Structure 1
């Protein structure tokens, strides 16, 4: 019952840029234009400048590099390939980037010329290690790199696949790989002497008796220093690779895959895999053997990396395709989840294979460890199940919550299986799970659009004053242009404060924005409440509502102190005013109350935010007398970081999160751009490139609707030119969001 799901390579995080890993498997590829360039790409992916050592081997043959891979891994350095008489330019550039402490060249002048060594000496000190043949060279490499080790790996030098997987395993254990003539009836005395000098008590023979003779195994067992000899082998090179990895890696966060029919790509990959404690599997070009599929599922890595281009590993392996279904194990599951009815999702799948019963497990994150609920067990022929979110989880995951529901398909293939459905697979119990990566949202409430609303934290004057090129004076027209682009009927703005826009401007930030938005260029907006007044000591008045008089009529409005309505407001904490107004839609005559709210940030005020938002809800209910409410603003709380925060309290109180609309755009980007900022870091909150999450991104900015059916469309307004922000509307460290909602 194996299932591997492939997902994009992004993860959740909270408000702070600290990532929270999900139990999902992403697949990537490292490749270059040739074997030399591929080795460089592998090196770049795992090694930073200043490595202690780089091993250099010929790219024309494999024996020298096999032992060098484990040596490089154990010393924290990469393995690069060169031609006999030249250093490819791509390799030279990588060596310049790495700035290694030293360079080890493996192999004699028949493999790598003295001219190449002379060129390498211009980069770092160089040492050449070689021997009279491949076996002597292998031993010399091991002697140079390892003075002690409890384990020694031995593999045939007549072929490469067995030693490749062994190199990664050995490197992760700081153990040598020694090549031997597997057809021989004995072991060279130089090898047995080396084993004794290491102090090794365990010898691991890699490969069956066709690769390494039983006579060699017997000889190793006769050595007084060796207390245990283990042979790791399978029916072919692929199952031998699985045997090595099963013995060495009970679990791993990463796994690497290389072709078993050619050696160049895997040589450098073995050094990288060993250095990060990850297995290296050798496989056929187009698919994964069943034993490999099961082994990867048991290890449960979050990342799988293919080594080499599609000529070495075909594009079908981007989806970890199995060669054929094994008896007793299912094919790779293809799982799909979609919204169903209110508070429901539908999960369907194909490729289940053999099973005795099947179920679906759901939760709020990929591991399913939080907010978990399950279906009943169904007969093995079942291919779809509809789940209903339990009543106690509807605030977190139900209709209108705006939060994704992750799912896994669980299968037993045992007539004596229990009715439990744990979130961890078990081979011994014939219990398998599809890996995380499939998610959806609970079904939405049907409605039609009557009004468009928007919300934007525009970043205060003080918030960007010290950021060159991003002061309010620099950003003001970009903010206005972004609001004009959204073309909303009502706009909630926060952090447009009473501070002077810039020295000598003679107007506050909110007044400056009011003047811009009044222009037909930016939408001809009015402000709902302009009797703001000065903020005073320890108070901020940055929340405002703007509206289009052609779409809605303003009935009455105001601004209210959060401190005045929130019990337990700390005496030293800055008071915050929220703006509110009652509007009537000109299209249908229906009225609603809107509010712009900005709650205080910081972990110390988690409980205060919860109390404050409940107080705001009570105030708006009293003001509206039961008419629809549109509550918008920066709540400084994300579901990923605080599942029981104000956003969940509002859903529990009957609000609908507009991001739960059936049509959503850019929900894999956060609404706050400081979170996981990836470039332009000297300008906090103003990256050139937005960070894209693997699944739905954390949000702290919201649009909520109450006493109304909900939303038809939600947009996190990110305008890109290629992969970069379009600077003409990048006016804040937050993104504007807008929604089309139905108020009747």
Structure 2
């Protein structure tokens, strides 16, 4: 595994030019392209580091589709880039690129995608480079010589190319690798970021040179690769030629990127952090950031157990209210204060008394006028055996500063009655993690969750959840969504609770998402996606070979005609997806190799957005409240690691073009580096 030397360079340049390198750039996967305007050309800032060093910018399929779109057709007797393929050799991992395993007949699109991913250089840039140097993306009759020097690597303007580094594969690989060498050892190269640089206008030194303040590592790399600046004559004729002292390499790089993919220099503001001393205060802070007083509803879920609250986010967003968290036996003061501020017409308590006690329910009733408590499915069951709980010490408010430059929302001073502990956002307690044994294989070893013995995460159902997944209760009352007061929705198990929530919040729903109830990440990321389609999230035991009757009945009662299945077949089986399709609904699966990639797949459906939310992929609590807020704002919910950001998440942020990024939870949950988009590697 290579190191990430460019991040050291970025840190140095950040100290010199402010926060330029700590923000994510917006570009869309479909390319928010626009005709380049020479007035926007900044010789010191040709492309942002975030867009340039983005090895997840395009997949092989996307690269192929792009080439097919741009290519006009191939002349007879020639092999064009859209059909080019060759044998590729294995390139061992080093300090600049991950290992690339050779293939017997690899397409150009696959080479571009895999090299970009291995070296963490944007596939967009590699396509631009191939066009800038040899017009290979659009050329209808490329000669063998064009492939031999495809990227111009080791081909100086004043000497022949190095034949040992010729050929399409080597040209793409060594060019991508070279940019990491520039970033790792800036002192060895003529052009450096963060200082004034002399840059020649032309190989003919009689044309002279000019001084440029190069603002970032990627721009410095471009000048080291092509060491000339376009003069005014070249810029005046942006799509043509200038005068005898004009050069076009860096002009064309900027122009082509702009034309094909949008402005290469666009960035978004640094992330805003919403955090409290514990998960309860964080949820209240999230609520305050989005919801004004007089909301129709507040959903109240356990802050210690994830299953019941997983479906609440989409329901709350649909009804126009937040999700708040509580401990089992006492209502935290921060939550009391937020309920009072919100003045909801109704509070929906999610889960049975084993999750949220009658004592908490009574405390909520004292805050909300017009009390009515509905009979629920769980309350119609025989009394469940008591569940042993671990005594929980009081939480001490955090005095640890958030020294990452992300300012938390000011919070009221915690009262002594807010004694529920928190294992995710409290700086004094370890981060809560999920059992790793239930997670499909991951390609992000740096953020893989460790095993945990935390009983709050319940890898298996609690005693009160031993009823079958499709358990029905004949005397269960269907709650009225328009009723004021306090309502409890508690089913025989997490699956029944999710169905109760769906049928309470939605009279009809054309769309729904289905996710496993055995793990939290997929369902949490699905919440905002479901809200975007104005539908619920239903939990299932995704290991079952077929769809259960109760879930089928809920889908049919709601009139669902489209279902998003979240996670791969290890999360929700193919048989279950087939059963959903048998209801007459169209089925679309959103899946990745791990939870981060699955969340990114869901985020891609949003397209360009104003806001994106980031939550921990290793602890559920902050994201429970975040799902409702994100859903209400039409924003996706992406997952990140504690110490760094998975590449899938980082690329998803770049694709979604957010104007604002909101980090949910304090530095113990999402650390400084992760909140500043530092990629894992």
The TM-score bracket by the shorter chain reads: 0.3 to 0.5
- Of structures 1 and 2, the one scoring higher in RCO (CA 8 A, sep 6+) is 2
Which has the larger share of helix?
A: 2
Output the TM-score relative to the length of structure 1: 0.40
Which has the larger share of strand?
A: 1
Output the TM-score relative to the length of structure 2: 0.44
